[in-house]
Structure 1
Amino acid sequence: MIGGGTGIGEQGFGGEVREALRQRSDFLVEQGLAERRGQHVILARNLLATLREREVAGAAQKIVAETGLTHRPVAGGEHVSGIYRR
């Protein structure tokens, strides 16, 4: 996505790469993780932190659904103790 796919051919493998980049850009825009400005796609600030938070939240919800336990999020640097068994 960086560089906009310049230097990639229009047919064959290059065309497939260009299409994959377009689909990835569309997905990021739909998810609110990027925005289009003309022909450019601008990634959201703190994109990696946002993706990490979404992944942790999804994993937490899965564990809640499987165990019935309450999810209690902690901030960075907080101490957590206990035993987690499956």
Structure 2
Amino acid sequence: MKKTLAKKNLGQNFLISDLVIDQIIKYLSIEDNQNIIEIGPGRGAISFHIFNKTKNYFGIEKDQDMLKYLYPKIDEKT
């Protein structure tokens, strides 16, 4: 898959550090019954950790180019 570059006009930054991702997820303390809305999931670096912790995840992504990263991973889980 061709690498997608961050679109600065959309304010995109891609999180790639596993350490930072783990710290964020730990800090959020997500429970199974929580409703989670993520604005701009991008490539899904945090999204799939959240998706695995709650039954009520909803991601809103403006950039259609990001869907090629999100859909295959979501299909695996549903």
TM tier relative to shorter chain: under 0.3
TM-score (norm 1): 0.21
- Larger relative CO (CA 8 A, sep 6+): 1 or 2? 2
